[in-house]
Amino acid sequence: MAHQFAVGIDLGTTNSVVSYVRLSDEKPDVGLLPIPQLVAPQTTEARTSLPSFLYCAGPHDAPGSLDVPWSKDRDFSVGELARRQSADYPERTVMAAKSWLGHSKVDRHQALLPVGSEESATGIVTKISPVTASRRYLEHLVSAWKQAFPDAPISEQLVVLTVPASFDASARELTREAAFAAGLPDSLILLEEPQAAVYAWLTSQGEKWRKQLKVGETLLVCDVGGGTTDLTIVQMLEEEGELILQRMAVGNHLLVGGDNMDLALAFHVAELFQAKGVQLDPWQSISLWHTCRQAKEVLLAPDGPKTHTISIKGRGSKLIGGAVSVEVDRAAVAQLLTDGFFPECSLDSLPQKRRQSGFQELGLPYETDTGITRHVAAFLATHAAGVSTGPTHLLLNGGVFKAPALAQRLAQVLGSWYPATPVKLLAGEPDLDHAVARGAAYYGWAKQHGGVRIRGGTARSYYVGIETAGLAVPGAPRPLRALCVVPFGMEEGTEVDVPSDAIGLIVGQPAQFRFFSSSVRKDDRAGSRLTAWSPDDLSETDSLETMLSAGDSAEEHYVPVKFHSKITELGVLELWCVSTRSEGKWKLEFSVRDED
């Protein structure tokens, strides 16, 4: 059955959005899906975005109070009500599930959210995994689509789901897993969020974009959302007389964004409370963090007030049943966040590192340096080969840049780095809350109609870890080598035999397979073998523990093989281990979709 719609889904850290366009349209007319959701107990309203928050019901919630039109007797809520509950019941609210999906140091299938809330004054909290939380957000979006388009099941549409450019193969595959469980089609396409932002800009400009970008110029996309900062470089090239866009580089997974800003503001406000003689307890401090999210958006809006009142429910004996409030100054907040997250710095500045404690609570690996401008400088230095004269244009995306002061500071700092060739700030998609979803829907339409597309292949090179042979040393593991099986920029729909000597494959018994990736080693080819590397060169993704069938080699546990790599049209890496002595072959599979 032919698709009726291209559906773009932005599964955001703080907000999720669905957009769509009819594939029969000769010109894309991208619309936003109204998403019914609870805004208060037993009160449903449609909004154009779904806050990516999940509230776990407690004994104080009346039966049926969290029901939605398509589901009854619910013990959880997602969306606006859950976001509001985060201030009053932070121990019952899941947030940043998307950031947890990208945290390779924990089991993303483990029920660990909300963190640190096994039992509280509001009773025992039933925890869920990051994958389950993501699935529930997507299930809500799927149900909203069904209500709006009952005759066009989303499983039969061309669906494009966005992910951070910095997500590794494991995080992408977990995202796909959650999407499939929520009812999205197997033909689901993953698209990098910065690229989706570029597509949104392209569709907003029509054909005028060709007059603004010229051959040889480079575009820096800076996407600062609620939980992450994503950096991408797109270069303008010429092919057969036509201007084309080529994605040249993506940055590392940087956990710094709007959430950090909310916390910084919370610390500032806590000092204001302290000056009034009010010492906040841990519960109030977490509640204040959530409250400051809305305060930041109000104060930094273009037409924001000069001051804003922040109130916290009372907890002490003198405040039971009451609340305590302070007034927060707009100018002070603007300076705090501008200097703290977009500090003036030189192009050779590097993110500052600090010595970490040997013991740490389980949590997300947030960046220790919140200076986003320093991270941008380090990104440009790492990928200097592709931007030798610096980026010529800047496209901003993410809710953070709804604050003019922050957008202006970043443009100012970039201008100070390249005074001879000032960086031009593109007049981007004015609706930063919906740009990524709009761009994803446009991309789906462009695939059908032959519109402009960003090229680039995989944004990383991928490696398998190979244990070396040799004498065993007590207490020491054998050295590991890394063999490149997917080079940087390998296009979807292509495959390659990986040159190497025969590699021993363990079959018929449990074994661990280790995988690595790199966004900076762009010159490695399939078959390149690394004997040593730094953490900045290669990062390890999730290992795969499994037992491969021995097949015709039932009497053996060690089979000599060579590798054959294929990237399917859906962005799934098929790594085949092909026996050099028989017809036997084994497949290891995970997702590496990096672009269109």
Report which listed range, 118-122, 203-207, 339-343, 429-433, is most confident.
Answer: 339-343
Q: Has residue 252 been placed in a domain? A: yes
Find the mean pLDDT for residues 325-347. 94
Q: Read off the CATH number of the domain in which 266 is found.
A: 3.90.640.10
Residue 34 in tokens: 């109204």
87 pLDDT exceeds 80?
A: no
Express each pLDDT in 139-173 by its tens digit: 999 999 999 999 999 999 999 999 988 887 778 88
- Cα–Cα nearest to 223, from 509, 62, 428, 463: 428
Q: How many domains does the chain have?
A: 4
Same domain, 184 and 205: no
Q: Has residue 447 been placed in a domain? A: no
The CA distance from 411 to 565, in Å, is: 42
Residue 144: partners with Cβ closer than 8 Å, 6 or more residues away: 18, 33, 34, 35, 36, 50
Same domain, 168 and 225: no
Residue 535: partners with Cβ closer than 8 Å, 6 or more residues away: none
Find the mean pLDDT for residues 377-388. 74
Same domain, 83 and 213: no
Domain end (from 189, 217, 234): 189
Same domain, 228 and 178: no
Q: Has residue 529 been placed in a domain? A: yes
Whole-number percent of the chain with pLDDT over 70: 89
pLDDT of residue 594: 41
CA distances to 165, 270, 341, 449, 543 from 296, rounded to whole Å, are 26, 15, 14, 41, 40
Q: Has residue 223 been placed in a domain? A: yes
Find the mean pLDDT for residues 415-428. 85
Residue 263 in tokens: 């916390």
Whether 68 contacts 44, CB under 8 Å: yes
Mind spelling out the 3-state secondary structure of 441-459? HHHHHHHHHCCCCEECCCC
Same domain, 119 and 235: no
pLDDT of residue 431: 83
Same domain, 553 and 574: yes
Q: Which residues constitute the domain of residue 394?
A: 201-256+347-354+363-439
The CA distance from 167 to 191, in Å, is: 11
Find the mean pLDDT for residues 75-90. 90
Pairing of strands 572-579, 558-567: antiparallel
Same domain, 240 and 325: no
Same domain, 18 and 155: yes
CA distances to 62, 90, 132, 273, 333 from 268, rounded to whole Å, are 36, 19, 34, 9, 9
Least confident of 192-196, 299-303, 585-589: 585-589
pLDDT of residue 513: 84
pLDDT of residue 117: 65
Q: Has residue 196 been placed in a domain? A: no
Position 396: which residue type? Answer: L
342 pLDDT exceeds 50?
A: yes
pLDDT of residue 592: 46
pLDDT of residue 50: 97
Same domain, 77 and 20: yes
Express each pLDDT in 545-579 by its tens digit: 667 777 665 556 778 999 999 887 766 778 899 99
Vertex 305, ends 303 and 308: CA angle to 5°?
140
Q: Read off the CATH number of the domain in which 101 is found.
A: 3.30.420.40
Whether 567 contacts 492, CB under 8 Å: yes
Domain end (from 156, 189, 222): 189
Q: Has residue 32 been placed in a domain? A: yes
| Predicted structure pTM score | 0.84
Same domain, 301 and 422: no
Whether 5 contacts 21, CB under 8 Å: yes
Q: Has residue 404 been placed in a domain? A: yes
Domain end (from 439, 469, 502): 439
Same domain, 247 and 262: no
Same domain, 241 and 328: no
Pick 188 or 476 by higher pLDDT: 188
Residue 169, H or E segment? helix 169-181
Q: Has residue 586 been placed in a domain? A: yes
